[in-house]
Chain A
Amino acid sequence: MTGGGPIVYLDSVSETDVERLAALVGLPISPTDLPGVAVAFETLMAVAQLVRDFPLPDDVEAAPVFHP
């Protein structure tokens, strides 16, 4: 089973967190956008908790649309 353990540990998101994450993925974010992005990211992480906390059997795989 997977999914029961924490994947992301952010319970709250600061502007500094956003700056560090953005730097890791090479995404410049304007200082004026930082507060709003932090709020939006914190919202996503709060929502994500519902997904990450739900245990899934190992044999459940994603269902992408891919026809080789």
Chain B
Amino acid sequence: MTGASASALAIAAAVRERRVSAREVTAAALARIAERDGALNCFTHVSRDAALADAARTDARIAAGADPGPLAGVPFAVKNLFDVEGVTTLAGSRIFAERPPASRDAAAVAALRRAGAVLVGALNMDEYAYGFTCENAHYGPTRNPHDRSRVPGGSSGGSAAAVAAGLVPITLGSDTNGSIRVPAAFCGIFGLKPTYGRVSRAGVALFAASFDHVGPFARSVGDLAAAFDAIQGPDPADPACSAAPAVPCAPHVGREIEGLRIAVAGGHFARHGTEDALAAVGRVAKALRVTTTVELPEPHRARAAAMIITACEGANLHLPDLRTRAKDFDPLTRERFLAGALVPAALYAQAQRFRAWYRAHVAELFRDVDVLLAPTTPWVAPAIGAPRLATVGGAEVVARSHSGVFTQPLSFIGLPVISVPLTTPGTLPLGVQLVAAPFREAALFRVAARLEADGVVSAPIAS
């Protein structure tokens, strides 16, 4: 139960039954991080002493007969844009490193701790979450555990790589345009971007507030559901957080999927990628016996509008620093942030109005469909330091932004999405997005669990 392959649920059960102590589990996770993270660079901070102390407290509560929570003794780590009490929130930047340590945990971190999980550290990311590669000039690139010459995806690259390598079973990340789903796909694990407003962002450094979400990564559907259930629900401290009560998803893992109407997203989602990336959707569709294809309205414009809104909101957020100390930004984000500060307001307003139009039309589509299937990324993980331009589907594209070609039209209107991993020995992982109407995460968990049970998707530890 102290091994890298132990699931969060198995660890929690063993800790609760006192077959292993939380301290032993935590010490083993810290040992794995010490042994492997030098080569991967997932962690920017390891809370060794605090983690061991937390674990000891969990053991003491169990010994005293108290309920230690559903994730008792489960080691977890978070992208370094989550506030962690006593640790400076970097958001991948050098500028934030000058700030004092956070005075309290982010809401999602506190929720996982209340569930009994033990925080072991903070994880690397693209600066201010503006990227899909986790190539960070200040803290170095995180490396993909499946091939260390390649990126893990971003911006939550450290979060995905740490789970894929078996350093911890659960991490948290954030997703504005694909920053949970892209690294989940490149690293061959499960990643959930919940409905916009389903999980509190209180205590999380924002990027583009219109689209900022937080969510979990895991190597199994059951672990993903347990982590999500621990963090979902209303929070008045986040102005975008929904007041709708939480809908636990763990009970849906293993439920039948008969009756769910599943369709493949065609058009935009059937172009713009490599043959293998597009074929991954076909593999999942075949396993689910799905034969229906539907087309979202104007997804390419949705992606464009997402890019405009992201550029404007991100630049606005960092404008004081852009004016006075642009040289301290990562070269991979600086020019895009500066450009975002120049976009005319009329374009931003038009993009936000288009968003309302798109939301209404996609809602019509979900009258006839419960779950959509779409590729997560247009390709497998690119090499670290890959050229700016790439060719795919006969078109030349900006490589770094093209990784979000299939994720951006979905997060643009806050739809819940699980990226499920397709892993084949000898090849790099790919992901497929399971997409539902807002607040219908339960349907996604039913489909993901069926695919996992049938062996269609899986997340073996990358050695």
Contact of A43 with B347 in the complex, beta carbons under 8 Å:
no
Expressed in whole angstroms, the minimum distance between the Cβ of B135 and any Cβ of chain A is 16
Contact of B308 with A48 in the complex, beta carbons under 8 Å:
yes
Contact of A56 with B304 in the complex, beta carbons under 8 Å:
no
Interface-lining segment among B6-14, B91-99, B330-338, B420-428: B330-338
Flag whether B341 is at the interface (Cβ < 8 A): yes
Expressed in whole angstroms, the minimum distance between the Cβ of B205 and any Cβ of chain A is 18
Query: B355's closest neighbor in chain A, by CB?
Result: A63
Contact of B240 with A51 in the complex, beta carbons under 8 Å:
no
Contact of B354 with A48 in the complex, beta carbons under 8 Å:
no
Contact of A29 with B326 in the complex, beta carbons under 8 Å:
yes
Report the Cα distance A28→B305, complex, angstroms: 26
Report the Cα distance A68→B334, complex, angstroms: 35
Expressed in whole angstroms, the minimum distance between the Cβ of B49 and any Cβ of chain A is 39
Interface residues of A in 24-65 (CB under 8 A from B): 25-30, 33, 36-37, 39-41, 43-44, 47-52, 54, 56-57, 60-65
Known interface pairs A7-B350, A26-B323, A27-B342; A51-B308 also in contact (CB < 8 Å): yes
Residues of B within 8 A of A57 (CB): 357
Residues of A within 8 A of B323 (CB): 26-28
Contact of A60 with B335 in the complex, beta carbons under 8 Å:
no
- In the complex, which of the residues A3, A27, A33 contacts B350, with contact meaning CB atoms closer than 8 Å? A3
- In the complex, which of the residues A40, A49, A50, A62 contacts B339, with contact meaning CB atoms closer than 8 Å? A40
Flag whether B311 is at the interface (Cβ < 8 A): yes
Contact of B351 with A40 in the complex, beta carbons under 8 Å:
no
Report the Cα distance A61→B350, complex, angstroms: 9
Residues of A within 8 A of B319 (CB): 27
Query: A50's closest neighbor in chain B, by CB?
Result: B304
Contact of B340 with A56 in the complex, beta carbons under 8 Å:
no
Expressed in whole angstroms, the minimum distance between the Cβ of A55 and any Cβ of chain B is 10
Residues of B within 8 A of A65 (CB): 197, 209-210, 239-240
Report the Cα distance A56→B298, complex, angstroms: 13
Report the Cα distance A7→B307, complex, angstroms: 17
Residues of B within 8 A of A66 (CB): 239
Query: B300's closest neighbor in chain A, by CB?
Result: A50
Residues of A within 8 A of B344 (CB): 7-8
Q: Which of A3, A7, A8, A44: most chain B CB closer than 10 A?
A: A44
Hey, what's the 0/1 contact readout for B282-305 against A, CB within 8 Å counting as 1? 000000000000000010110011
- In the complex, which of the residues A27, A33, A60, A64 contacts B357, with contact meaning CB atoms closer than 8 Å? A60
Flag whether B343 is at the interface (Cβ < 8 A): yes
Expressed in whole angstroms, the minimum distance between the Cβ of B438 and any Cβ of chain A is 12
- In the complex, which of the residues B197, B239, B340, B346 contacts A44, with contact meaning CB atoms closer than 8 Å? B340
Report the Cα distance A57→B359, complex, angstroms: 14
Report the Cα distance A36→B353, complex, angstroms: 29
Contact of A56 with B353 in the complex, beta carbons under 8 Å:
yes
Report the Cα distance A40→B326, complex, angstroms: 15
Expressed in whole angstroms, the minimum distance between the Cβ of A53 and any Cβ of chain B is 9
Contact of A60 with B304 in the complex, beta carbons under 8 Å:
no
Contact of A40 with B347 in the complex, beta carbons under 8 Å:
no
Residues of A within 8 A of B239 (CB): 65-67
Residues of A within 8 A of B347 (CB): 7-8, 48, 51-52
Expressed in whole angstroms, the minimum distance between the Cβ of B387 and any Cβ of chain A is 14
Contact of A27 with B304 in the complex, beta carbons under 8 Å:
no
Flag whether B395 is at the interface (Cβ < 8 A): no
Contact of A33 with B334 in the complex, beta carbons under 8 Å:
yes
Contact of A40 with B335 in the complex, beta carbons under 8 Å:
yes
Contact of A54 with B298 in the complex, beta carbons under 8 Å:
yes
Flag whether B28 is at the interface (Cβ < 8 A): no
Hey, what's the 0/1 contact readout for B362-389 against A, CB within 8 Å counting as 1? 0000000000000000000000000000
Residues of B within 8 A of A8 (CB): 344, 346-347
- In the complex, which of the residues B311, B346, B355 contacts A7, with contact meaning CB atoms closer than 8 Å? B346
Report the Cα distance A61→B356, complex, angstroms: 7
Contact of B355 with A54 in the complex, beta carbons under 8 Å:
no
Residues of A within 8 A of B340 (CB): 44
Contact of A63 with B352 in the complex, beta carbons under 8 Å:
yes
Report the Cα distance A43→B300, complex, angstroms: 15
Residues of B within 8 A of A62 (CB): 349, 352-353, 355-356
Tell me the B residues contacting A by CB distance below 8 Å.
197, 209-210, 239-240, 298, 300-301, 304-305, 307-308, 311, 319, 322-323, 326-327, 334-336, 338-344, 346-347, 349-357, 359, 398
Query: Besides A29-B338, A48-B351, A50-B300, 8 other CB < 8 A contacts?
Result: A8-B346, A18-B342, A27-B338, A27-B341, A50-B304, A51-B351, A52-B347, A65-B240
Residue pairs across A and B with Cβ atoms less than 8 A apart, 8 shown, are A8-B344, A27-B323, A37-B335, A43-B339, A62-B349, A63-B359, A65-B210, A67-B239
6 nearest interchain CB pairs? A62-B352, A36-B335, A40-B339, A50-B304, A41-B339, A47-B304
Tell me the A residues contacting B by CB distance below 8 Å.
2-3, 7-8, 18, 21-22, 25-30, 33, 36-37, 39-41, 43-44, 47-52, 54, 56-57, 60-67
